[in-house]
Structure 1
Amino acid sequence: MRQTVALIGAAGKMGSRCTDNLIKEDYKLLLCEKSEAGLKKIQEKGLKTAPTEEAVPVADIIIMAVPDVLLSSIAEKMVPILKSDATVIMLDPAVAYVGGIPMRVDVTYVVTHPCHPPLFREQETPEARKDRFGGVAAIQDIVIALIEGSEENFKKAREVCCKMFSPVDKCHRITLEQMAILEPALSELIGCTAATILREAVDVAVDHGVPKEAAESFMLGHINIALAIAFGAVDADFSDAAKVAVNIGKDWVFKSDWKKVFKPEMVCKAIYFMLHPERGKK
């Protein structure tokens, strides 16, 4: 039987990508969007929208492509009107991890997230090589977790997730707790922070008189090989001098207790401030 899929936030950053892939599949797709700009964006694609309050009660699968800061309040209104045996798919673990989603015993809850195209994977086409985010042409993996509900509905949700992030190679099944370790701890608190430090370091080099183009080329080239060595993508090792520099850098640049960000209480604390940015960081 053809499944009905409601996509909430269909014109958003993630929602737009999901829309572009799911319209190619054999689903009855109900696109839900509130903003005027979003509605116009969908109409410009030649697609129709459906009111959320009408789409949600009839949907077999509901995809929550909305910002984390809005997810809890939207879910509070949406969950009570879900039909029995429906499946809710969230695209980020944060809100569910801290208990911000109303739960029903007759509803299946799933969370998924793209891994994004890996740095050292050989993509086959120029279009794929330009697809840094994934979901257009570049092959990527995804992660998925069953929070609560039936295995049968989880399998159906998995199929939807692979299609909306297509092309997908591997779909890694993990737990909600493990996904929260991956994001925000691993990818954002560590990965994104490290990326911004690298960017800022280039700016500092420029402030010290190095031409910007030379500084960027030098950093990006060295980071490419450094990551390849660190992750075993090449059969090589850091030079003896580089190993000394790494030890010095860890002492000068990073806090000695940085690994504490992976502790559950720190993950919860980070999520709290991410969901309440107006309250600042502690």
Structure 2
Amino acid sequence: MNKVILLGAGGKMGMRLARNLSRSAYEVIYAEVNAERRAAFEAELGRTCTGDVNFSDCDAVILAVPDNAIGRIAAQIAPELRAGTVVIVLDAAAPYAGDMPDRSDLSYFIAHPCHPSMFNWEADETAARDTFGGAGARQAIVCALMQGPEEHFAFGADLASCFYAPVSQVHRATVEQMAILEPVLSETVVATCLTLINEAILEAEKRGVPYVMARDFTLGHIYAESAIIFGHIKGTAMSDGCLKAIEDAKPKLLNPEWRQVFEKDEMVKSIKSITQAV
């Protein structure tokens, strides 16, 4: 299995994947429906990008398209795909929502990046500044084989390791586990809490603390406290004062029922709001 179509190659994510795929051993056809994006792709990467694709003889199709377009585009191309084709999506939302075409002879594979850890140490400056991944910094990835023969997991994981390179570890998950990771864990919980932290910095600024000072102080404490909380360093614990502050603050900052975001009905509502967004 070697022939791969990257659909949406001219988009932000497609360009990221294309840069890595261009260095791989896979035979890649770069496809983009938008003429301006095709031109920009060819100018930047020096590779041919087509708007007219023959899907009937490929081994895999990577859908580098927005979440709310995955179901529609997968349905459009499915009749052209031969049995055994691996359809790769970059997020679990559409598969978890049941938006993939009803084709039992196709394999559905999901691959999503963890993004570089704040505890990475990268000697190369470009890699050190790569917070998203795919531009030099190591990152783990999470993959799931929704349907298809077992050997297609190894194929999908290898292909994903190429387009998300450099990859430090491949985690295998179920589709439901991937839906828990995103949107629930990474967006509903983490992104929301980080947004609250930034709002707190702005509140400190309103109360007389210079923004840059508050930002530097907060980011430093996030790094140090994360190292303790997530076990990156051993033998170090939060101070008694910090633990007391956490105990007192939780009821003020958090709804006691916040864990309900992990319940299946809440997950479904969240994912539908993503996949059905205009």
* TM class by smaller structure: over 0.9
AA in 1 matched with 2:240: D
Query: Counterpart in 2 of 1:209?
Result: 208
Q: Does the aligned pair in 2 maintain the 1:64–1:89 contact within 8 Å? A: yes
**How many corresponding residue pairs?**
276
Give the whole-Å Cα distance in 1 for the aligned partners of 2:81 and 2:141.
26
1:34 Cα deviation from its structure 2 partner: 1.4
- DSSP 3-state at the match of 1:110: strand
More off after superposition, 172-181 vs 150-159: 150-159
1:143-162 Cα deviation digits (max 9, x unpaired)? 10000001122221111000
Say whether residues 1:271 and 2:276 are aligned partners.
no
1:98-137 Cα deviation digits (max 9, x unpaired)? 1011131211110010011111122232222111111111
1:275 Cα deviation from its structure 2 partner: 2.5
1:151-166 mapped onto 2 (5 Å cutoff)? 151-166=150-165
Q: List runs of 5+ in structure 2 lacking aligned partners.
A: none
Query: Counterpart in 2 of 1:231?
Result: 230
Aligned-residue RMSD, C-alpha = 1.3
Query: Counterpart in 1 of 2:240?
Result: 240
Which stretches of structure 1, 4 residues or more, deviate above 4 A after TM superposition? none
- Superposition TM-score, scaled by structure 2 size: 0.95
1:257-268 mapped onto 2 (5 Å cutoff)? 257-268=257-268
Query: Counterpart in 1 of 2:129?
Result: 130
Query: Counterpart in 2 of 1:75?
Result: 74
Give the whole-Å Cα distance in 2 for the aligned partners of 1:121 and 1:260.
32
More off after superposition, 269-278 vs 61-70: 269-278
Instruction: Give percent identity, aligned residues only.
Output: 36
Query: Counterpart in 2 of 1:34?
Result: 33
1:204 Cα deviation from its structure 2 partner: 1.0
Q: List runs of 5+ in structure 1 lacking aligned partners.
A: none
- DSSP 3-state at the match of 2:243: helix
Q: Does the aligned pair in 2 maintain the 1:89–1:112 contact within 8 Å? A: yes
AA in 2 matched with 1:34: V
More off after superposition, 43-52 vs 186-195: 43-52
1:48 Cα deviation from its structure 2 partner: 1.0
More off after superposition, 90-99 vs 39-48: 39-48
Q: Does the aligned pair in 2 maintain the 1:117–1:132 contact within 8 Å? A: yes
- Superposition TM-score, scaled by structure 1 size: 0.94
